[in-house]
Amino acid sequence: MSTTKKYLVGMFDDDHTLLHAVDGAVKAGHKIDDVFTPFPVHGLEHKMGLRPTKIHTAGFVFGLTGLVIAFSLMAFASAINYPNNFGGKPLFALPAWIPIMFEITVLSASTGMVSVFYYLCNLYPGKQPKIIDARLTDDMFAITFDITKDSSLAAGFTDFLRHEGAVEVFEKEI
């Protein structure tokens, strides 16, 4: 069980207001814990100053691994381990292996990248999620501030959120 934390939650009913609020929080130096949205809001990650994901690098590494494995297996099997004569064709038939090399590259890159995605997000079947509010997968947006250590921050954050147009502000312990 993970430890419980106390959050101050500001609920917004519009993505533009949310973006504005996030911008304001960053500028004012308020440390946002997380932002929850029902759909990908463009520009949010830039405004929050999140580090761009490196998921594509993982994809490249997996793809390259797949390519090397496919090529080596075919070269080993056809030219070394069991050189079989198919109608006098060359044993080391690189052009004929390209389709399989391509397929395995795509297969490894995709499966690898998807696995990395779920691993990084710590999502897995049967996970017990920390749901701030059920409306966050529907039509509401939220900014959360971590106030576990210092509850006195709550008042300042509340004022800020209200000022930025939050429709609801509440504390939540999960």
Partner 1 sequence: MGHFESPLREPLVNGNKTYKQITDDIVAGTTGPVGLLWLLATGVSGLVALFGVFCLVWTICYGIGTWGVNSTVGWAWDITNFVWWVGIGHAGTLISAILLLFRQKWRTGVNRAAEAMTIFAVICAGLFVMLHTGRPWDVFFILPYPNTRGPLWTNFNSPLLWDVFAISTYLTVSLLFWYTGLVPDFATIRDRAKLGSIRWKMYNFMCFGWVGSAKHWERWESLSLILAGLATPLVLSVHTIVSFDFATSIVAGWHTTILPPYFVAGAIFSGFAMVQTLMIVARKVMKLEDYITITHMESMNKVILLTGTMVGTAYLTELFVAWYSGSMIEQYAFANRAFGPYWWAYWIMMSCNLIFPQFFWVKKLRRSIYFTFFASIIVNIGMWFERFVIIVTSLHRDYLPSSWTSYSPTWVEIGIYVGTMGIFMTLFLLFSRFFPVVAIAEIKSILKVSGNQYRRDQMEEVKEEPAYQDADSRLTYKID
Tell the smallest beta-carbon distance from residue 152 to partner 1 (Å): 26
Q: How far apart are CA 80 and CA 85, in angstroms?
A: 12
Residue 43: phi, psi to the nearest 5? Answer: 90, -10
Please identify which residue in 64, 96, 151, 155 interacts with partner 1, judged by CB under 8 A. 96
Query: Among residue numbers 126 through 145, which ones bind partner 1 (CB under 8 A)?
Result: 126-132, 134-139
- Asked if 17 touches partner 1 (CB under 8 A), the answer is no
The CA angle 75-76-80, to the nearest 5 degrees, is 105
Comparing CB distances to partner 1, the nearer of 48 and 154 is: 48
Residue whose entry in the numeric block shows the structure tokens 């990084």: 120
The answer to whether 12 and 169 are in contact (CB under 8 A) is no
- Single-letter code of the amino acid located at 105: T
List interacting residues with partner 1 (CB under 8 A): 15-16, 34-45, 48, 50, 52-53, 55-56, 59, 63, 73-74, 77-78, 81-82, 84, 86, 89, 93, 96-97, 99-100, 102-104, 106-107, 109-111, 113-114, 117-118, 120-121, 123-132, 134-139
